[in-house]
A and B are shown apart, each in its own frame.
Chain A
Amino acid sequence: MKGIKLRNYHAAKYDEPIIMEMGVKGRRGIMVPPVHEEIAESAGDIKDLIPEKARRKTAPNLPEIDQYHTLMHFLRLSQMTLGMETGIDIGEGTCTMKYSPKVNEELVRSPKMADVHPLQPESTLQGILQITYELRNYLKAISGLDEFSMQTGGGAHATYINACITRKYHQDRGELEQRNEVITTQFTHPCNAATPATAGFKVIFLPHKNGYPDIDALNSVVSDRTAAIHMTNPEDTGIYNPRVKEFTKIVHDAGGLCFYDQANANGIMGIARAREAGFDACHFNLHKTFSSPHGCEGPAGGAYGCTEALAPYLPIPLVTRTNDHYHLDFDRPKSIGKVRSFFGNLEVVLRAYAWIRSMGPEGLKTAAEISVLNNQYLTHLLLQIDGITAPFAEGKPRFEQVRFSMEKLKDETGFGSHEIQDRMVDFGIQSYWLSHHPYVVPEPFTPEPCETYSKEDIEYWASVIEQACKEARETPEVIRKAPHNQAIHRIKDFEQAEDAKRWATTWRAYQRKRKNG
């Protein structure tokens, strides 16, 4: 791309050992002072505080290492890592890697929030309950649905809750035995198949017709066995299903429920609502669309909303309000019960609340519009690169993301989306994400340039892809041996990650398996 200068980047590289290999016997971090005699006497022997059965017989085999070197070790590791705020994180499509304002972290870390204990009396939790309740009201307005629970700890958890509510709903009507099928589409997130399966349903996948879910196929399978449909819109491909209302009608006419996976609502927030599309329930990933930080297995929130008819089934406790008092309502006889300890990830709730307040209704809509606009620009740039295509729905607009294909590049050069991924990190940006399973789009990659990213960011990102594709044709050795400027090179023997005899997710397993050869 003209005028874009790619950075001369190199990652920090410390050749850092595994912490289990560090330390010296007898070395200590902080020396804890001895307690005063009176205190020791009144507290008694510390061993007595731990039940006999719970006491270790032998000391754990941990490295003995001081605080300074521990800190150094982890700081080094963090420097060897690319992240949302060191690179341009456009590549993680479906994840909506938007910037999370730091002021919201201040709120979460303030003692008013950090020191709150979930076992405090309700009367002393009024602040956070009010915030939870008001967030519920905002999400009601955004979705058009009637009630929300903040209990769920993530998106897949919310789809599971929907499967549980579906089960209870049909059970109440005496139809559960018969209604044992949940329908989903090929380009809906796979948790929408996995969670109903976990809840005991059979799962039926609808095929697509040129990128759109096949409505004739839906008509062919919908029946009195249909419990629900789980779908998203726009789908993973960024393609919006304009017939979504017909889908929900077909399923409703057959007696099934309709669930809208809105984990990523960034392309339609403030523009289209679950209610008008005919859905009975939906969820939002607060850690995506609503700006709570996403990734690193950090706390997530899959706010789950539904219509009045399904509200009695929501998990307990539900935050309610009478006059000016907020309650934790446990007295809900039809509820599917507890789905998580205490009240959900309230720090995520607080961040989402703060973000929505700072954006306002118009701001939310503008964020959606910019994310779609950004995607149009990125798509325009990427489709000019020889070897990249956007299969299906040719000529039709995409929303906030696109599932591109590098099949042409692979056929012509032997390098596909994996190899380009290995090269892009040499330019100081995170590698992209490819696709959910299965790879219906061959050699896939799925960028999502949400509203955070500037025109320059988008151009830089596209230029990196362009450069890597060019190298695939002109200097294949560069791609073959990539990455060159990273802390860690390619994994030497990837097959071991697929071999149960060799893989190791713990140090103990690693030692045991390595010992055995």
Chain B
Amino acid sequence: MVKTKIGLIVNPVAGMGGKVGLKGSDGDDIYRRALELGAHPVSPGRTRKALEILSDIKEDVELYTYPFEMGEDEAISCGFTPVVFGAITPGATKPEDTTRAAKELVRRGVSLLLFTGGDGTARNIYDAVSDSFPVLGIPGGVKIHSGVYAASPVKAARLVIDFVRNNGKISLQTAEVMDIDEELIRQDKVSAKLYGFMKIPYERGLNQSSKAGSNPGEGVHQDEIASDIIHNMDKDVIYLVAPGTTTKTFMDKLGLKGTLLGIDAVRNQKIEATDMNEAGILDLMKREPDTRFKIIIAIIGRQGYLFGRGNQQLSADVIRQVGRENIIVVATENKILSLKGEPFLLDTGDEELDKELEGYIKVIIGFGKRQVYAVSA
């Protein structure tokens, strides 16, 4: 049997700030402060946890990685004999090392890139591979918003085993890369931007049996949802379309070229404006005082945020003017199930508005199918 080449990149400093209350570990000073506060690296342990399970299929896998704490150490300690590329300065790794490693391992022909870290790490990987290549994150960061991470190191390992056993022929799904400005978080201001999308193995276990057959992946569900929205679109209403893979399917289905990460406006199935910021949206509303506006919004990231993560252009002012009854929420069943019953979250920056939006909301999960789901401030 030909061995499957799996790339492994560990961001050794990810997750260090969490236990000492630093909310992330980007930046040299923070890393130093974390060490001073007694923080220990988290991601090497998380990586080992996944590798211990992966060692079940050691014979079928060739592990390609970077030196020392960026993967080599973890791999050797779990009994792998990794092929090591590149060079780093141990104890002083930088985000650029992650990006460089990702580019190199992909060039060396790995079939899947496994990485440990947090949102910052996902961003660095994205810089290297964009959405062209299957990746999977082992959660090692402080607070993970990006959807490219498995729910736990164990679950990440299980997905890799599935991937290897099927010779890489498994469905992929698109997941978000979120960019958190840790400097702002430390000032208790969350600013999570949507940075892009990457492809990860599809976790079919959540959705249905592999034996049940006919598992078309997320695409078919997204297509159904998009059809539902189109079927129910009202004349002359301006739809503010927020980013997300499902909303992108909607735009594609209408043949419209929207922006990947921005807010686009659609009226009568035609583009009204693209990539609008808050001011742009408010300005449009001012110019169209008699027009009804609706928001089409997808659940973004691992934590199930409705507003306030990756779509801050839809500010409290905008949401208030549009009105709760004009918010159309879309999500695939898989996305909802991955939240394990935890409610959708809100962080519009306006506590009063968050309270007003609390309660239950109907989510479009398929053509003519709605799931009632709780929303919490």
- A residues sitting closer than 8 Å to B (CB atoms) are 193, 197, 201-208, 214, 216-217, 220-221, 410-411, 414, 416, 418, 434, 437-440, 442-443, 476, 494-495, 497-498
By beta carbon, the residue of chain A nearest B208 is A437
A197 to B365, CA, bound (A): 13
25 chain-A/chain-B pairs, Cβ below 8 angstroms: A197-B368, A197-B369, A203-B368, A203-B369, A203-B370, A204-B362, A207-B341, A207-B373, A207-B374, A208-B341, A217-B372, A220-B359, A221-B360, A221-B362, A411-B154, A414-B56, A418-B209, A438-B206, A439-B205, A439-B206, A439-B208, A439-B337, A440-B337, A497-B213, A498-B215
Residues of A close to B216: CB separation below 8 A: 498
Count of A-B residue pairs with CB < 8 Å: 82
B158 contacts A205, C-beta separation under 8 Å:
no
A201 to B371, CA, bound (A): 14
Known contacts: A207-B373, A439-B208. The answer to whether A220 contacts B368 by CB under 8 A is: no
Q: Which of A442, A443, A498 contacts B214 (CB 8 A)?
A: A498
Known contacts: A438-B337, A443-B205, A495-B166. The answer to whether A418 contacts B359 by CB under 8 A is: no
Q: Does B333 contact A (CB under 8 A)?
A: yes
Chain B nearest CB from A218 CB (Å) reads: 8
Known contacts: A202-B368, A205-B371, A410-B158. The answer to whether A495 contacts B360 by CB under 8 A is: no
Which residues of B from 130 to 166 have beta carbons under 8 Å from A?
152, 154-155, 158, 161, 166
A440 to B158, CA, bound (A): 19
- B residues sitting closer than 8 Å to A (CB atoms) are 53, 56, 152, 154-155, 158, 161, 166, 169, 205-216, 333-334, 337, 341, 359-360, 362, 365, 368-374
A495 to B170, CA, bound (A): 9
By beta carbon, the residue of chain B nearest A417 is B209
Question: Most chain-A Cβ atoms within 10 A of its Cβ — which of B209, B334, B374?
Answer: B209
Residues of A close to B365: CB separation below 8 A: 205
Residues of A close to B155: CB separation below 8 A: 411
- Rank and list the top 6 A-B pairs by shortest CB-CB distance, nearest first: A220-B360, A217-B372, A497-B213, A204-B370, A205-B371, A202-B368
A442 contacts B360, C-beta separation under 8 Å:
no
Question: Most chain-B Cβ atoms within 10 A of its Cβ — which of A410, A414, A476?
Answer: A414
A244 to B44, CA, bound (A): 51
A197 to B169, CA, bound (A): 34
B372 contacts A495, C-beta separation under 8 Å:
no
Known contacts: A411-B154, A414-B158. The answer to whether A220 contacts B205 by CB under 8 A is: no
Chain B nearest CB from A204 CB (Å) reads: 5
A193 to B213, CA, bound (A): 20
A494 contacts B369, C-beta separation under 8 Å:
no
A349 to B371, CA, bound (A): 37
Chain A nearest CB from B233 CB (Å) reads: 15
B213 contacts A498, C-beta separation under 8 Å:
yes
A214-B374, A410-B158, A442-B206 known; 17 new pairs, CB 8 Å cut-off, are A197-B368, A204-B372, A205-B365, A206-B372, A207-B374, A221-B360, A221-B362, A434-B209, A437-B212, A438-B333, A438-B337, A439-B205, A439-B208, A495-B166, A495-B169, A497-B214, A498-B216
B371 contacts A207, C-beta separation under 8 Å:
yes
Known contacts: A203-B369, A205-B371, A214-B372. The answer to whether A418 contacts B211 by CB under 8 A is: yes
A446 to B359, CA, bound (A): 32
Residues of B close to A217: CB separation below 8 A: 360, 372, 374
A205 contacts B210, C-beta separation under 8 Å:
no
Known contacts: A410-B158, A439-B337, A495-B169. The answer to whether A220 contacts B372 by CB under 8 A is: yes
By beta carbon, the residue of chain A nearest B370 is A204
By beta carbon, the residue of chain A nearest B56 is A414
Chain A nearest CB from B377 CB (Å) reads: 16
